[in-house]
Chain A
Amino acid sequence: MFTFKDLTEIRPDEWVISPSYRSDMRLPVHIFASRKMLEQVLVDRSLEQAVNASTLPGLVGNVIVMPDVHQGYGFPIGGVAASLYPTGMISPGAIGYDINCGVRLLASTIKAELVSAYLGDLATAMNHFCPSGVGSEGLVRISSSDLEQVLRHGSRWALKKGYASEADLMRTEESGCIDGALPEKVSDHAKKRGLTQLGSLGSGNHFIEIDVVDEIFNPDAAAVMGLQFGCLVIQIHCGSRGLGHQICTDYVQQLQGAPRRYHYTLPDRELVCAPMDSTEGQAYLGAMRAAANFAFANRQMLAWSARRAFEEVFTGKVKNWQLHQVYDLAHNIGKIETHIIEGKELKVCVHRKGATRAFGPNTPGVPPEYAMIGQPVIIPGSMGTASWVLTGTNASMQKSFGSCCHGAGRLMSRAQAKRSVRGEVLIRELEQQGIHIKAGSLPGLAEETPAAYKDVDEVIKVVCDTGLAHKTARLKPLVVIKG
């Protein structure tokens, strides 16, 4: 178990675990957290998992740990690591099973105070149009050839089919399609799961939330994003569903023999990896990109459904019910990017597992309209608490491979959360705060109680105080749809 003696505070809220801590570490672990948050982190195995991640061959720079970190499997949730492209390793377990789990933010000009009487109807309509829950099936049945197109082209497929606009794609990470996807490297099992699940939310911590813009910190950035004080916005949090889970399962299994083939040892088999330029590495990279494209299309379909719900509820009641996209980004993914590391410009594969890309102003990859302010970074809070819209910074480019936190971060186990509150009680408490809830499962809802998570405001304070991001706006929840 780690103690503060194992950590060196190099700057306020920035800590380092030296490679001398354990003989198999290849590089340092750099942690962004306040002392208070670290006290919580030291209770579970997050830092041990970050140290394990630092043993991966071919990594460069530091393993980065975000303030929302918590124990995961293999790699900690809230971790970032970069491996040299193309000879370095790619590790499916360091990206996670829900490939391209991410968040989309849509904004409106509807004043929340003028439509409070319709929020119940909106919750019902949203629940009706956006399939959610355990084993939920998607909005549309697609053919095998459509699925191939989704895997290859992501949101571009949705655009072609009328489920997206050009503006949606412009305001999506990678414009909603990562080049280099290889559908032929996706198993039949994964494809079968994908056929029925496109346009579905799923369950667990995935949600759709209608919020009000509660406070604006940077009026210029908010204006560029189209965020207006007091107006409704929507967050959609989900990923690649069973298709992505199956792809990760397949490749973690296939790579179990890789340590012997590539002559390395690991402290945890979940971290198995292969060189990116190997046949196995190329296959996983192609399949992972296909899953990422599926996830972009999935959130696009849900955005289309959310717009239908808004249209149904607000037509004739408000002048303009349109929802425009602010941004859509991934927080479980591996991306080939260029970063300055120890003074050298290097092409690397950045593994982000529970971490959001947070590129600064004028960085290639940021949509032109956001070039001056930096990329929008969407950080959902726990259910019933605030969410945040930030912008990426040049400091994040230097310190964290252009990455930031992804949420509040869990504190309690699911069993502990269920013991702390009953689903019915939680619904009542949230409704007393004026939040409408639609939940597929009451025990599932209890698992997501706000008390099970860290205080998102403290997480945001750390990423802003350490310069990884700047505040743009805070969002307050009004309607929550949980699977």
Chain B
Amino acid sequence: MSAHPNHGVTEVSHTADLALRITAESLEQLFIKAAEGMYSLAGVKTDQSILSARQLIVSGIDPESLLVAFLSELLYLLEEEKIAFHYINLGISADSITCSITGSPVSQLQKSIKAVTFHNLKIQTTAEGYETTLVFDV
């Protein structure tokens, strides 16, 4: 299936924090685009001459909590280990995500994101796939 022309990530106005509207043709793609959007908000640049591979498992009670848990783990690795991931392969089940991720050391980080929030979070199915809006505390 070819990508829908409107699928992607757009910033949504918020008085104090940052918000992204994300659309994708599959749930896996939605998660990956959300990660890319979060890195973009943080102004991440990496040194891709060095690669680092990881396996991650996160758990949750539904797709929304899995999305927040997944992004929060990436945020932790960004802040604490200064690594951002550009290759993400996900397997999503009802209550967990298993992922293989490959990333590189961060060479530039412009903005600190404090957290990924659950504020009004709902992953919705649409005729073209999935969409959600995520609010980040900055």
**Which chain B residues border A97 with CB–CB below 8 Å?**
114-115, 137
B13 and A256 contact, CB distance less than 8 A: no
Q: Mark A423-457, 1 if CB is under 8 A from B, else 0.
A: 00000000000000000010110000000000000
* Bound-state Cα–Cα, A412 to B120, Å: 21
**Which chain B residues border A193 with CB–CB below 8 Å?**
76, 79-80
**Which chain B residues border A98 with CB–CB below 8 Å?**
114, 137
B65 and A256 contact, CB distance less than 8 A: yes
Specify the chain B residue showing the minimal Cβ separation from A244.
B114
Any A CB within 8 A of the CB of B97: no
**Which chain A residues border B119 with CB–CB below 8 Å?**
73-74, 268-270
How many of B's residues come within 8 Å of A, CB to CB? 34
B112 and A203 contact, CB distance less than 8 A: yes
* Bound-state Cα–Cα, A272 to B137, Å: 17
Any A CB within 8 A of the CB of B118: yes
A253 and B117 contact, CB distance less than 8 A: no
B15 and A189 contact, CB distance less than 8 A: no
Partner of B14, one of A74, A203, A413: A413
Any A CB within 8 A of the CB of B103: no
A70 and B16 contact, CB distance less than 8 A: yes
* Bound-state Cα–Cα, A361 to B137, Å: 36
Any A CB within 8 A of the CB of B53: no
- Interface positions of B from 78 to 137, Cβ below 8 Å from A: 79-80, 82, 109-112, 114-121, 135, 137
Any B CB within 8 A of the CB of A135: yes
A257 and B112 contact, CB distance less than 8 A: no
B80 and A441 contact, CB distance less than 8 A: no
Specify the chain A residue showing the minimal Cβ separation from B13.
A413
A249 and B15 contact, CB distance less than 8 A: no
Any B CB within 8 A of the CB of A416: yes
Any B CB within 8 A of the CB of A120: no
Tell me, rounded to whole Å, the shortest Cβ–Cβ distance linking B51 to chain A: 21
* Bound-state Cα–Cα, A299 to B118, Å: 29
B16 and A269 contact, CB distance less than 8 A: no
B17 and A73 contact, CB distance less than 8 A: yes
Tell me, rounded to whole Å, the shortest Cβ–Cβ distance linking B58 to chain A: 9
A204 and B135 contact, CB distance less than 8 A: no
**Which chain B residues border A412 with CB–CB below 8 Å?**
15
Tell me, rounded to whole Å, the shortest Cβ–Cβ distance linking A102 to chain B: 15
B80 and A72 contact, CB distance less than 8 A: no
* Bound-state Cα–Cα, A96 to B119, Å: 12
* Bound-state Cα–Cα, A246 to B75, Å: 10
Q: Check A252/B114 contact, CB under 8 A, given A44-B15, A416-B13.
A: no
Q: Check A135/B118 contact, CB under 8 A, given A73-B137, A192-B80.
A: no
Q: Check A72/B115 contact, CB under 8 A, given A97-B137, A204-B138, A256-B60.
A: no
- Interface positions of B from 34 to 73, Cβ below 8 Å from A: 60-62, 64-65, 68-69, 72
Number of A-B contacts (CB under 8 A): 101
Tell me, rounded to whole Å, the shortest Cβ–Cβ distance linking A115 to chain B: 33
**Which chain A residues border B14 with CB–CB below 8 Å?**
71, 413
Partner of A249, one of B112, B115, B121: B115
Tell me, rounded to whole Å, the shortest Cβ–Cβ distance linking B6 to chain A: 21
B112 and A410 contact, CB distance less than 8 A: no
Any B CB within 8 A of the CB of A177: no
A242 and B80 contact, CB distance less than 8 A: yes
B61 and A256 contact, CB distance less than 8 A: yes
Specify the chain A residue showing the minimal Cβ separation from B69.
A253
Specify the chain A residue showing the minimal Cβ separation from B71.
A249
Tell me, rounded to whole Å, the shortest Cβ–Cβ distance linking A133 to chain B: 9
Any B CB within 8 A of the CB of A404: no
* Bound-state Cα–Cα, A274 to B18, Å: 27
Partner of A253, one of B13, B17, B60, B138: B60
Q: Check A253/B79 contact, CB under 8 A, given A44-B15, A203-B112.
A: no
* Bound-state Cα–Cα, A77 to B121, Å: 19
Tell me, rounded to whole Å, the shortest Cβ–Cβ distance linking A258 to chain B: 10
* Bound-state Cα–Cα, A383 to B131, Å: 37
Tell me, rounded to whole Å, the shortest Cβ–Cβ distance linking B82 to chain A: 7
Any B CB within 8 A of the CB of A414: yes
**Which chain A residues border B60 with CB–CB below 8 Å?**
253, 256
B117 and A410 contact, CB distance less than 8 A: no
**Which chain B residues border A246 with CB–CB below 8 Å?**
76
* Bound-state Cα–Cα, A444 to B65, Å: 30
* Bound-state Cα–Cα, A129 to B39, Å: 30
Q: Check A245/B15 contact, CB under 8 A, given A73-B137, A135-B109, A193-B80.
A: no
- Interface positions of A from 87 to 145, Cβ below 8 Å from B: 93, 96-98, 134-135
* Bound-state Cα–Cα, A74 to B69, Å: 18
Q: Which one of A98, A135, A248 has the greatest number of beta carbons of chain B within 10 Å?
A: A135
Tell me, rounded to whole Å, the shortest Cβ–Cβ distance linking A357 to chain B: 22
A-B contact pairs, 25 of them (CB 8 A): A72-B16, A73-B119, A77-B16, A93-B117, A97-B114, A97-B115, A97-B137, A98-B137, A134-B110, A135-B79, A135-B82, A135-B112, A202-B112, A245-B114, A256-B61, A269-B118, A270-B121, A272-B118, A411-B15, A414-B138, A415-B11, A416-B13, A441-B110, A444-B110, A444-B111
Residues on A facing B (Cβ under 8 Å): 44, 46, 70-74, 77, 93, 96-98, 134-135, 189, 192-193, 202-204, 242, 245-246, 248-249, 252-253, 256-257, 268-270, 272, 410-416, 441, 443-444
Closest 10 CB pairs of A and B: A73-B119, A269-B118, A73-B117, A71-B15, A97-B115, A270-B119, A245-B114, A270-B118, A97-B114, A410-B16
